[in-house]
């Protein structure tokens, strides 16, 4: 097996540069391909790529003389989408005091490392929901310019929240790490309006707000609503006026309900979903982005005591809320909160979604069809003519064992091979 993988990797190193001499048209062949729309595994297929897009999906051998990347006994899937990352952060080292020891350049450089890990894990698109100093926007531009390797990004820039809330930096002396609406700390409708406009002015592609308190912060009860109904409504309306969607961090029931009524596109975490919240989310078409693997994986012993107490109280509720949302048929899009656990392990969310009641196919759809729908894009999430040539390959059958997605052996983004079988 290892010899076959090494030979395949050597083939890719030799053949990929030659593709440019052949008009960038290439057949990516594999023994299997998952049709995420039809829900079946197709046999002996080739995805034909040209100019960064898929031009055809065909069965059988290509015509004589066509450039081929033959991956052999693997399964092709669309490039995966993670709708909740924080590429410029992590919980390594003294993360609690990092905001007053580092600056945007440090965060962007950390993001470059994490972006590559994420891409090589098979995630070709991410929605990055909150970073300071527009470091996520800088990272997006660096990726788009080809300076660094990484997924396509929808950055939120500064998350928007109340003074002293989950989106703010608390626990420091007065005057230290103190911010205003430019950095997303906004109180009252007019400041919220300015905060939204300022993030958009400087490159935000989605707006993130903190509708409730959170876990990895030092403010009060984890589920408490923070923004008023009016503030949330103004925030969503202004974002919508600019064509942007809103992602709302929300743990507690009242904050979830307020955010859904205000018209947010997604509830992040959704830890305390009651029957009314589930009903309203279904009625409004609001997505849940559950970030549920972290409830299985986070090392509580490494957290400061106040944060650990909040985590211990909310995580069991969060797991149950995902199970109830799956059973109720709420729309769910894939998101990991990567940074809370190491970047590059994003695919572990699939196993947790299946454990909470999803079939492997439905779990995969959350990171393809449903994630693309949440982002408002129709050029990815499925392997079909006209879509971006973002595709991955795994050994085994992900419909039999979704854990095979944790070991991606091939990644193509926009027609460029960024990872071959190893």
- Which of 168, 187, 337, 390 is catalytic? The answer is 337
Query: Do 183 and 215 sit in the same domain of this protein?
Result: yes
| Residue where a domain terminates, one of 342, 357, 375 | 375
Rounded Cα distance between 173 and 41, Å, is 58
Rounded Cα distance between 363 and 391, Å, is 17
Rounded Cα distance between 378 and 299, Å, is 37
Calculate the alpha carbon distances from 233 to 239, 255, 309, 402 in Å: 10, 13, 32, 39
Give me the phi and psi of 57, to 5 degrees please.
-120, 120
Tokens 């490392």 sit on residue:
113
The 3-state DSSP class for residue 75 equals strand
Query: Do 54 and 99 sit in the same domain of this protein?
Result: no
**Quick one: average pLDDT of 217-227?**
83
CATH number at residue 150: 3.20.20.140
Domain count, the chain: 2
**Quick one: average pLDDT of 333-342?**
95
Query: Do 252 and 198 sit in the same domain of this protein?
Result: yes
Query: Do 149 and 58 sit in the same domain of this protein?
Result: no
In angstroms and rounded to an integer, the radius of gyration of the C-alpha atoms of the chain is 21
Query: Do 148 and 239 sit in the same domain of this protein?
Result: yes
Calculate the alpha carbon distances from 161 to 187, 287, 298 in Å: 8, 20, 25
Q: Determine contact, residues 235/209, Cβ cutoff 8 Å.
A: yes
Q: Count Cβ atoms within 10 A of the Cβ of residue 77 and give its class: 0-12 exposed, 13-18 middle, 19 or more buried.
A: buried
**Quick one: average pLDDT of 389-408?**
98
Min mean pLDDT across 39-48, 65-74, 148-157, 172-181 is at: 172-181
**Quick one: average pLDDT of 19-47?**
85
Whether 337 sits among the annotated catalytic residues: the reply is yes
Query: Do 168 and 311 sit in the same domain of this protein?
Result: yes
pLDDT above 70 as % of the chain: 92
**pLDDT by residue (tens digit) across 1-18?**
343 443 343 344 433 433
E strands, 239-298, where?
246-250, 266-269, 287-289
Min mean pLDDT across 32-36, 294-298, 315-319 is at: 294-298
| Residue where a domain terminates, one of 375, 390, 411 | 375
Query: Do 413 and 287 sit in the same domain of this protein?
Result: no
- pLDDT for 51 equals 95
Q: Determine contact, residues 315/255, Cβ cutoff 8 Å.
A: no
| DSSP H stretches of helix in 341-390 | 348-355, 360-366, 369-375
Q: Determine contact, residues 119/111, Cβ cutoff 8 Å.
A: no
The closest alpha carbon to 366, from 77, 153, 33, belongs to: 77
**Quick one: average pLDDT of 272-286?**
98
Q: Determine contact, residues 111/139, Cβ cutoff 8 Å.
A: yes
Instruction: Select the more confidently predicted residue: 279 or 172.
Output: 279
Confidence bin at 91 (pLDDT 50/70/90) = confident
- Which of 205, 208, 245, 319 is catalytic? The answer is 208
Query: Do 37 and 127 sit in the same domain of this protein?
Result: no
Q: Mutual orientation of helices 135-145 and 104-120 as an angle, nearest 10°?
A: 50
- pLDDT for 333 equals 98
288: region left, alpha or beta (phi > 0 left; psi from -120 to 50 alpha):
beta
- pLDDT for 45 equals 92
Confidence bin at 303 (pLDDT 50/70/90) = confident
- Domain of 158, in residue numbers: 80-375
pTM recorded for the entire structure = 0.91
CATH number at residue 387: 2.30.40.10
Query: Do 95 and 155 sit in the same domain of this protein?
Result: yes
The 3-state DSSP class for residue 156 equals coil
Tokens at residue 103, please? 């600056």
Instruction: Select the more confidently predicted residue: 338 or 306.
Output: 338
Q: How many residues make up the chain in this entry?
A: 422
Query: Do 33 and 149 sit in the same domain of this protein?
Result: no
**pLDDT by residue (tens digit) across 251-269?**
999 999 999 999 999 999 9
**Quick one: average pLDDT of 107-128?**
97
Query: Do 178 and 274 sit in the same domain of this protein?
Result: yes
Tokens at residue 48, please? 């034909």
Query: Do 155 and 284 sit in the same domain of this protein?
Result: yes
**pLDDT by residue (tens digit) across 43-77?**
999 999 999 999 999 987 777 778 999 999 999 99
Other Cβ atoms less than 10 A from the Cβ of 422: the count is 12
Burial 306-335 (b: 16+ CB within 10 A, else e): ebbebbeebbebbbebbbbbbeeebbbbbb
pLDDT at 323 over 50: yes
Give the number of C-alpha atoms closer than 13 A to the C-alpha of residue 358, restricted to the C-beta side: 29
């Amino acid at each position: 097996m290892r010899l076959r993988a090494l030979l395949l990797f050597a083939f890719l190193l030799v053949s990929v540069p030659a593709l440019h001499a052949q008009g960038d048209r290439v057949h990516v062949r594999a023994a299997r391909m998952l049709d995420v729309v039809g829900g079946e595994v197709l046999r002996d297929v080739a995805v034909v790529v040209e100019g960064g897009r898929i031009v055809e999906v065909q069965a059988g051998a290509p015509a004589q003389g066509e450039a081929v990347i033959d991956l052999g006994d693997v399964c092709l899937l669309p490039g995966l989408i993670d709708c909740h990352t924080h590429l410029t952060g992590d919980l390594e080292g003294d993360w609690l005091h990092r905001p007053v020891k580092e600056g945007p350049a440090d965060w962007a450089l950390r993001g470059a490392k994490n972006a590559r890990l994420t891409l090589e894990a098979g995630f070709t698109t991410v929605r990055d929901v909150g970073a300071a100093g527009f470091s996520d926007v800088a990272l997006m531009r660096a990726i788009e310019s080809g300076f660094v390797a990484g997924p396509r990004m929808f950055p939120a820039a500064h998350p928007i929240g109340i003074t002293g809330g989950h989106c703010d930096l608390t626990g420091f002396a007065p005057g230290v790490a103190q911010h205003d609406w430019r950095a997303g700390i906004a109180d009252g409708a007019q400041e919220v309006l300015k905060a939204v406009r300022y993030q958009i002015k400087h490159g935000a592609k989605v707006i993130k707000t903190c509708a409730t308190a959170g876990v990895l912060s030092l403010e009060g009860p984890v589920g408490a609503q923070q923004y008023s109904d009016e503030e949330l409504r103004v925030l969503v309306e202004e974002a919508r006026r600019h064509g942007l969607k809103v992602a709302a961090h929300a743990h507690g029931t009242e904050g979830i309900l307020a955010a859904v009524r205000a018209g947010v596109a997604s509830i992040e975490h959704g830890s305390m979903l009651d029957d009314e919240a589930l009903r309203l989310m279904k009625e409004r078409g609001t997505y849940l982005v559950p970030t549920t693997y972290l409830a299985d994986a986070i090392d509580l012993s490494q957290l400061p005591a106040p944060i650990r107490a909040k985590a211990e109280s909310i995580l069991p509720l969060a797991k149950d809320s995902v199970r109830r949302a799956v059973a109720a048929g709420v729309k769910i899009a894939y998101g990991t909160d990567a940074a809370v656990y190491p970047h590059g392990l994003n695919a572990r969310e699939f196993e947790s979604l299946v454990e909470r009641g999803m079939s492997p196919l439905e779990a995969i759809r959350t990171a393809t069809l449903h994630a693309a729908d949440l982002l408002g894009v129709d050029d990815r999430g499925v392997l079909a003519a006209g879509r971006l040539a973002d595709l991955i390959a795994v050994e085994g059958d992900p419909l039999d064992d979704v854990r095979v997605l944790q070991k991606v052996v091939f990644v193509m983004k926009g027609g460029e091979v960024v990872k071959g079988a190893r």
